[in-house]
Chains A and B, each alone.
Chain A
């Protein structure tokens, strides 16, 4: 008898728990789907706007795209952005692989100071360099050239790249190096033949992270490039805002879609590397 009562009580308790869990699950999905809606809605809104012929009508045609392509001279902007982002990415990866190896595996005097500079570069606002770089680039006649962006992007990306590469090289086992040293390899040989091939994941992380960062960079691009022809995508599209297309949202939105597509494709393809770059930068000091 008492066992029946007890088991009924247990069943009721279980039922209450189940109900609680069900409510909890429902609440969880409400939060998740709400967050999902908020995350993607603005992007979808942009997509909708870009298909409208005028702000009131949803035309469902691609009308704004050819006009946006012409209006913002987007082919030229694309080329500038690809060129600048790729060049500084390649330079940064090469320099930071070398520096990361030096900092991570060779105990030389002054290593702490060099690493200190890297850490400062990791956090310092790039605004500090805005005026000095502008003045020097102007003096050297380099404003409105690709170098005006490639140089500063490389300089500021280098801190991040070196930081990641150093962490990676430090993590590689000593034995690798010792075996090569016994075989008579010098420092450069160890770096190039033994270590570098192992760092492919770190190189991928640094490369993809910096490419996207350069692709989106606005402040330096706004200040160091004033000629329309030399602009990169962010400032080229920004310039549309103060042109005859101000308020012409279909054209603007179409330009924005064209601008975002490569970024999103890269992100979806290299998501792993990108997320690694972020968490490594944050958690691994």
Chain B
């Protein structure tokens, strides 16, 4: 016989599962199961066509990747991509957020327009920028010729040396608005009395920004940076449409390598190993994110 309290708590658990149940089923089917599938497949060999997976090969796929120049190239490119794009995105976003965090004519209009690149679809963005970087009649080279800098015209996406920087530039262009919006919300949530007190004490705009606002913003800046790093590691569309990882793998990143291994080379095991590595990278960064958040929450309470 169940006591009344036990029955009530049983009913509470049942009610909880009744509410999360449907979502849990969908998450299990489209998230949890695929993760398990990918991890398990990464220990196998498979071309994707035979009805059954190939033999279990243990860590062979990972070992093959470790000896694969393209994999290291892709990893390095992913790291360079993130290392260059994140400081630019967060830095420029913070600069614009600081400027927009004052009383200003057309402030909300500016914020709206700065955010337009973020909502534009990547397919649109990449096709426009392909055209901008086009060597003969593209906007960039035409502009350079027009202002007498014809010597600097360049096949931007065709040269392995400039392709990755060009792709990174587009990525920064697309995402500065994202950092801006988060940082602006952060600035507006700062304790106004502290800022006001510093102003009353005679701090000028520079001192205020560098000594008061920036330290207060540190956790939110770190968070924005982490989001940008995670987004950067996941990047696919931009690179895939713009350069397909070329020329000669100069823009290959982990996500494009995964796609190529799976759907062009039919190496399902290897592609799954790349996916697992990518996920491990992203989740370890996300782990840092929760630390930062805990710290900022603790700091906020202190």
Contacts and interface: CB of A to CB of B under 8 A. Distances in A.
A274 B131 contact: no
Nearest to A111: B16
Contacts of A219: 236-237, 259
Contacts of B96: 31-32, 35
A226 B151 CA distance: 44
A217 to B, nearest CB: 9
Interface string A228-246: 0000011001100100000
Given A31-B95, A125-B282, A278-B182, A155 B27 contact: yes
The bracket for how many chain B residues form the interface is 35 or more
B236 A135 contact: no
Interface residues of A, number: 86
Contacts of B230: 123
B286 interface: yes
Interface stretch (B61-69, B80-88, B114-122, B157-165): B114-122
Nearest to B32: A117
Contacts of A99: 19-20, 22-24
Contacts of A106: 12, 15-16, 19
B185 A216 contact: no
A198 interface: no
A103 B19 CA distance: 8
Contacts of A283: 182, 185-186, 189, 220, 223
B38 A131 contact: yes
A96 interface: yes
A131 B241 contact: no
A271 B33 CA distance: 35
Nearest to B292: A285
B31 A120 contact: yes
Contact of A32 (B26, B110, B139): B110
A135 B48 contact: yes
A210 to B, nearest CB: 13
A274 B27 contact: no
A35 B113 CA distance: 10
Question: Do most interface residues of chain A lie in helix, strand or loop, or is the interface mixed?
Answer: helix
B275 A131 contact: yes
A282 B19 contact: no
Interface of A: 24, 28, 31-32, 35-36, 38-40, 42-43, 45-46, 49, 55-56, 95-96, 98-99, 101-103, 106-111, 114, 117-118, 120-121, 123-135, 151-152, 154-156, 158-159, 162, 187, 191, 212, 215-216, 218-219, 223, 233-234, 237-238, 241, 249, 252-253, 256, 259-260, 263-264, 267-268, 271, 274-275, 278-279, 282-283, 285
Given A46-B128, A127-B278, A263-B120, 11 more contacts: A36-B114, A45-B132, A103-B20, A108-B13, A114-B20, A128-B278, A256-B123, A260-B120, A264-B120, A278-B178, A285-B293
5 contacts: A35-B176, A133-B34, A233-B121, A279-B185, A283-B223
Interface of B: 12-20, 22-24, 26-27, 29-35, 37-38, 41, 48, 92, 95-96, 99-100, 110, 112-117, 119-125, 127-129, 131-132, 137, 139, 173, 176-178, 181-182, 185-186, 189, 205, 220, 223-224, 227, 230, 233-234, 236-237, 240-241, 255, 258-259, 262-263, 268, 271-272, 275-276, 278-279, 282-283, 286, 289-290, 293
